[in-house]
Amino acid sequence: MLLLCLLLVAPLAAVELPPLLDYPNHLARMVVLAFPHDPVLSRFYAPHWRLVPDLGIDLTLPPLMHLLPPLLVGRIGIGVIVLLPVLGTLAYHRAVFGRLHPWAFGVGLVAWNQAMLLGFLNFTAGLGLGLLLAAAWIAWRDRFPRRTLALAVAGAVVLFLCHLMGLVTFALLIAPYEALRAWPLRLAAPAAVLRRLGVLLCVFAPPAGLYLLSPLHEEGGAPDFRGPAEKLAQFLVPFDGYVAWLPVATALVVLALAVTARPHSRPVALAALLVAFGLFLVAPFGFKGVAHFDTRFIVLADYLLFAGLAPRLGRPALVVLFTLVLIRLGVMTSVWSAHADDLAELRAAIAPVAPGSTVFLASVPPEGNPAYWDSARPGRRLASGLRLDVHMPALLPIERRAWWPFLFDNNSQQPVATREPYRSLALRVGTMPDAGALPAQDLCGFDDLLLLEAGGAPGFADPRLTPLVRTDFAALFRVDPAACGPLRAAPPLSAGTR
C-alpha cells in the first residue's frame, strides 16, 4: 500500500503546476482567500463565505499558504486528495471482505481518472472521505454503535462541506448495509428496524438541513442530457489519459479480469456498485450549474469495482494489472515533465504584466488549427480531446497580482466574490473567445491581452494591440488605451488562425 501511494504521487515531482484543468483556477481562489488584505488582489476580489457544499480545499489549504509557497501547498493538497479514494477503496474492501485481496490494489489504475485530471479536487476528496466513512460504518456499526453514530453524524457534516457527492457516496454505501441488516428483522423485531431507520435519519438530517439553507438548493437550470454516443464514450472516463490506446487497453483488461477471474462479492458491495452504475445511466451531464455530473457516478462505480469485487487472480494476471499501473504513471510523468516547458513559456509571456493590470484572454482552439494541436505537447489535452490549458492563466493573479476575467466565483459553489467594476467587466467578456473572433471583441477596460496557443496563429495581428512577448504556448500584447470597441473592419486572418 505504501509503495502504491508513493508511485501515485511521484508525477507531482515533475512540474510545479500540474496540468489539471480547473486546478490553477482553484489555486488562484485559494491565494485570494489566504491573503484577503493583499493591497492589489483585494481591489479585484473579496472572500464571500457561504454555506455551499463544495468547500474542501477552501477550508484546508489557504492557511498552509502562510507557511509554504502556494504552488507547493497546491501540490501537497493534490497528493493527499488523489490518495484519499485509493485508501478509501482499500478500507472499504477490507471492511466488506475481512481482508485485502490483490485485486483491490488495482485501484491505482483509476486514481488519476478524468475527473482528477480535470481538477475536480473537492469531488475527489469527498469521494475518498465517503469511502473511508462507509468502511468505518460497516466495520464498527454493530460493534460500537454509539461511537460509530457520533462519528457518522460529524462525518456527514464534514462530507457536506467538502463536496455534496461525498455525502451521496456515503449514503449509497451504507444504505445497502442497513437494508440487509434490517430485512431479516422486519417481522420478528419491527422495532429494531425502526431503530435502524432512526439512526440513518440522525446521520443525514443535519446535512439535509444545511442543503436547504445553501445557495445550491436554489440553483436553477434545466438538466442537460447528452446522446447515447456521448454516454457510451463516458465508460472510458475512469481510464482517460494522454495516449489514445491506453484508456481502451486499461478498460478491456479490467473488464476481462473482473468478469473471467471467478469474481466473488458481498451483497452490500454489489448493490452499491449496481446503484452507482444505474445512477450514471440516468443522470444528466449538466445539473444545477455543474458540468460532468453523470461522470462522477461512473468514476464512483469504477472505484467500487475494485472495492466491492474480489476476483481470484493468478500471478500472470497480477503482473499484467500492475504493469498497466506502471505504464500509466510513466506516461503521466513524461507528459508532466514536458508540460514544464509550457509553464516556462507562459511565465515568460506574462513577465511584463504589472501588478494591478487587467488582462484579456483568447486562445487558438483545436478546431482553429488542427495541425498545430496534433504536434503540440500532449499535456495540453487528454486522449478524449478535452483541453487542459485554459485555466493556466490563473498564474496572473497568483504570480503577477493581475486580474483576469475567469476566476471561479459562482455564488452556489465558491466562497469568493469579484468586486465591481471587474464583475461587470467579466460578465461582458463571457467566455474565452477564439483568436479569430478577437476583432469583434471590445477590449475597453483591459491593459493587456494574453493569447494561448500562440504558435497556432503565427500571423495574428490587431491594430489595437502592440506585441510584447511571443512564445509557442502564449503571447502577450499591450492594449491601446485609446482603442475601444470592436474593429470596424476586421483584417483578414492568416491561414493558421482561420
Of the residues 313, 340, 357, which one is the last residue of a structural domain? Answer: 313
The last residue of a domain, from among 262, 278, 313: 313
In a domain, 26, yes or no: yes
| 302 and 354 housed in the same domain | no
Residue 489's pLDDT band (cuts 50, 70, 90): very low
Which of 491, 479, 242, 488 has its CA nearest to residue 362?
479
State how beta strands 359-363 and 448-452 pair: parallel
- Give CA–CA dist 104/81, Å, rounded: 19
When pLDDT is averaged across residues 297-305 and rounded to a whole number, the result is 96
State the pairing for strand pair 474-479/465-470.
Answer: antiparallel
Whether residues 207 and 118 fall in one domain: yes
- Please tell me the predicted confidence (pLDDT) of residue 487: 63
Identify whether residues 123 and 164 lie together within a single domain.
yes
Same domain? For 277 and 389 the reply is: no
pLDDT digits (tens, 9 = 90+) for 200-235: 999 999 999 999 999 988 887 788 998 899 999 999
User: How far apart, in whole angstroms, are the C-alpha atoms of residue 232 and residue 226?
Assistant: 10
**Length of the chain counted residue by residue:** 498
Same domain? 392 vs 489: yes
| Domain ranges, residue 399 | 11-49+331-498
Assess whether 458 and 434 both reside in one domain: yes
In a domain, 3, yes or no: no
pLDDT digit string (tens) for 357-391?
A: 999 999 999 998 999 999 998 899 999 999 999 99
* Within-domain flag for 324: no
Whether 391 is covered by a domain: the verdict is yes
**pLDDT tens-digit map of 313-351:** 889 999 999 999 999 999 999 999 999 999 999 999 999
| Average pLDDT rounded to a whole number, residues 411-433 | 93
Q: Which three cell numbers stand for residue 445?
A: 477596460
Total domains in the fold of the chain: 2
428-443 pLDDT tens trace: 999 999 998 988 899 9
